[in-house]
Structure 1
Amino acid sequence: MNAEMTVAFIVLAVWSAVFTAAYIGERHRNRKLRNALKKKRSQYAAGHYQQIH
């Protein structure tokens, strides 16, 4: 493996690691946000329902 190939391989490995970490982090954050929203919405819906009836 010559120097250019080594550099290209390292760059590709680092980029894919960063991309994977960002993707996992984003999915994890989205799931937490979605769960928080779901909780809020169900609490609001329950409260709203009680006010009407």
Structure 2
Amino acid sequence: MQLRYNYRAYPDAAQRGALAKAFGCARVVWNDCLRDRKEAHAAGLPYVKSAELS
């Protein structure tokens, strides 16, 4: 059974800053991993697994 929950948050200014930092860092990591996988694909190397990116 799959459940879906919707939540609405109203963070204050300090919380918005902390959330922006956290999600910004996560986005940088995602982009770095994506770039590494694209470079490996372009070089004809096998798919780079998540464990290898860690």
User: TM-score band (shorter)?
Assistant: 0.5 to 0.7
Kindly indicate whether residue 34 of structure 2 is the aligned counterpart of residue 34 of structure 1: no
Consecutive unaligned residues in structure 2, runs of 5 or more: 1-10, 46-54
Q: Give the structure with higher Rg (CA).
A: 1
**Cα distance in structure 1, aligned partners of 2:15 and 2:41:** 38
* Segments of 4+ moved more than 4 angstroms: none
TM-score by length of 1: 0.61
Once the two structures are TM-superposed, the CA of residue 17 in structure 1 deviates from its matched residue by: 1.0
Whose relative contact order is higher, 1 or 2, with alpha carbons under 8 Å and at least 6 apart? Answer: 2
TM-score by length of 2: 0.60
AA of the residue aligned to 2:31 = R
| CA RMSD between the two structures | 1.6
Once the two structures are TM-superposed, the CA of residue 20 in structure 1 deviates from its matched residue by: 0.2
Identity between Structure 1 and Structure 2 (%): 17
Kindly indicate whether residue 17 of structure 2 is the aligned counterpart of residue 20 of structure 1: yes
Answer 1 or 2: which has greater helix percent. Answer: 1
Q: How many residues align?
A: 35
